[in-house]
Amino acid sequence: MARDYYEALGVSREATTEEIQQAYRKLARRYHPDVNKDPAAEERFKEINDAYQVLSDPGTRGRYDRFGPDFRRIPEDYEERMAAGAGAGFGGAGLRGAGFGGAGFGGAGAGRGGSGQRVRVTPGFEAGFGGGGGFEDLFGDLFGAGRGARGATGPIPGADQEAELELSLEEAYRGGRRQVTLAGPEGRRSYTVAIPPGVMDGQRIRLAGQGGRASGDGQAGDLYLRVRIAPHPRYRVSGRHIHLTVAVSPWEAALGATVPVATPGGEVKVHVPAGSSSGRRLRLRGEGMPNRRGAPGDLYAEISVMVPAKLTDRERALFEELAAISTFDPRT
């Protein structure tokens, strides 16, 4: 992380969720690579996107506030285990850089356990907790050969594991193949992941047999990639529906027009009915997120009437003539 997430978004630590969202949208519009061609803009966009992903989620934000930049390295149930007296293995050196050591989270259940175990791994995860055998006990020997629960004999199935896979809205819409690299205690491993068209935020993609290794003749666990769709400066997703804003001129709104609109699936033509005002929503059936098992979502285009920032003499004269003869009062 280049710097503090709050600083990256330019908000205070007491900022509300709405203030964080507003700050992100403002910065995303400014630094999105499609808009800003400065070579540094892409890195800045990634930075603010990372910050938004963490601070927009109350749970993740709370962990970041408590643990700082190392929050991803801290087990999600750490505080519960500490409250229950199971944190003896952390030692007195503090969380940052402290080895698990000794008993770790202790007890006979600290080893690999059953096949239903979930080990949360995020892309970029590094084994940085220091020495001691407790690390492998806690995380199920990520990507390594399983040792099984203490004292157990016979084949032990590998643990299922989970990682987050961030996709752009365009990637989620179209699907395709994506190269994913995850880092664990034994180094980095790469996977070619088939992304189904229309994959949803929160949906999991299963990579069979790519989780924790088994002991003996046991079956390897599975790796689950939980999809997170990154916020987009132009589109907003609600379920399978996609929402966007369509800018139109005053005469297009008044007289009606057919205007081109860029969508994740390509350009479409949108008919703007005569007499449309800002805020009017137009529905394009079936133009939302694809659905392999049912009906696709819809696309909702919200009208935004834009006026020229600077008028020519002729345009000003025409607008003045319209103002003189029109009886339309928008305030009534």
CATH 2.60.260.20 maps onto the chain at 114-149+156-231, 236-309
User: What pLDDT is recorded for position 314?
Assistant: 95
For 158-196, b where at least 16 C-beta lie within 10 A, e where not — what string?
Answer: bbbbbbebbbebebbbebeeeebebbbbeeeeeeebebb
User: What pLDDT is recorded for position 210?
Assistant: 85
Mean pLDDT within 154-171: 84
Mean pLDDT within 169-175: 93
User: What pLDDT is recorded for position 251?
Assistant: 95
Distance CA 32, CA 169 (A): 14
CATH 1.10.287.110 maps onto the chain at 1-70
If you classify domain 236-309 with CATH, what class do you get? mainly beta
Strand boundaries in 90-186, DSSP class E: 118-120, 160-167, 176-184
User: What pLDDT is recorded for position 255?
Assistant: 96
Of all residues in the chain, what percent carry a pLDDT higher than 90? 40
Query: Is CATH 1.10.287.110 the right assignment for the domain spanning 1-70?
Result: yes
| 180: pLDDT strictly greater than 60 | yes
**Which has the higher per-residue pLDDT, 219 or 263?**
263
- Using one digit for the tens of pLDDT, what is the confidence trace for 11-34? 999 999 888 988 988 898 888 877
- Using one digit for the tens of pLDDT, what is the confidence trace for 32-90? 877 788 888 888 888 888 888 889 888 889 888 888 877 777 766 666 565 555 443 33
- Using one digit for the tens of pLDDT, what is the confidence trace for 87-110? 433 333 333 333 333 333 333 333
CA quadruple 262, 263, 267, 270: dihedral, nearest 10: -80
Residues 6+ apart with CB under 8 A from 272: 246, 248, 252, 253, 256, 257, 258, 259, 282, 303
- Helix (H) / strand (E) element for 325: namely helix 313-325
Q: Is 193 helix (H, G, I), strand (E, B) or coil?
A: strand
User: What pLDDT is recorded for position 84?
Assistant: 58
Distances (CA, A) of 274 to 251, 270, 304, 325: 9, 13, 14, 19
Structure tokens at 313: 């003499």
Q: The CATH number of 114-149+156-231 is which of 3.40.50.300, 2.60.260.20, 3.30.1540.10, 2.40.50.100?
A: 2.60.260.20
